[in-house]
Amino acid sequence: MPRGDVTTVDMIVTKSRAELEKMYRAGQLLGEMLGELTQRVEPGVTTLDLDRFAEQWLRKAGAISPFKGYRNYPAHICTSVNEQVVHAIPANRVLREGDVISIDAGIRVNGYVADSAITVGVGKISEKAEQLIRHTEASLERAIEQMRPGNRLYDISHAVQSYIEPLGYTLVKEFCGHGVGRKMHEEPQVPNCGHRPHTGPRLRPGWVLAVEPMVNLGTAAVKIERDGWTVTTLDGRISAHCEHTIAITDDGPWILTQVK
């Protein structure tokens, strides 16, 4: 949800192994919830139906959503359809065959947060939409490969941008990834573009980052709708969003929100 640029390195919270284990538990629960939400994405379902399911799922799991109440956000998840990039509030919008929907969700368990997002098709979708989703996911994979001690923060940004832009897609610049831990949004902020490789703070073991490319089929320009939350593409073309919470360790990147 944050926008902007990286601030000071000394504000970045380094997590212990015990803390990473707690975040991994949160991440596994979140991955399971997103998997079940994905199974419920079909024509005729409303985005509010998905939010209600998430609410019930969280209650049964003994967890809470860090989204609900954050700056007065009214729902448990974000459900962004087609031209909606991020932060769309679940409502009575009915999903239709051919739509794409990004589900962004967080979970708080035992005081620690995990954050993740997926974009999926509703029924049969166009080849252009399938490719957009696939390449957005691939750009996240490229970014995660850079998340090793000694690399620099903007190696992550460059990995996304250098993969996406040659394909003819555009990246949303106003919103970015972020650190995560006891708070949903911690330092540093993690842009998806606009920085040279081999610059920025050196990555350290124990840092945990939520990396989240937002990729548009058309223009990079976006606007915020009247509800104060929903971000949409200015040209009305579709967007895709994916996100994982990843820990940097001496053994390489550890994807906390990936469920096998």
22-33 pLDDT per residue, tens: 999 999 999 999
The set of long-range contacts for 8-12, using a CB threshold of 8 Å and a minimum separation of 24, is 8/187, 9/187, 9/188, 9/201, 11/186, 11/187, 11/188, 12/179, 12/186, 12/187, 12/188, 12/201, 12/204, 12/207
pLDDT for residue 2: 47
pLDDT for res 8: 61
Q: Where are the domains of the chain?
A: 9-255
b (16+ CB within 10 A) / e for 196-231: ebeebbebebbbbbbbbbbbbbbebebeeeeeebbb
Q: How far apart are CA 36 and CA 41, in angstroms?
A: 9
What is the C-alpha to C-alpha distance for residues 254 and 247, in angstroms, rounded to an integer? 5
* Prediction pTM value: 0.95
- The fold for domain 9-255 equals Creatine Amidinohydrolase (3.90.230)
Q: What gap in Å lies between CA 190 and CA 139, rounded to an integer?
A: 14
Task: Collect the ranges in the chain with pLDDT lower than 70.
Answer: 1-8, 260
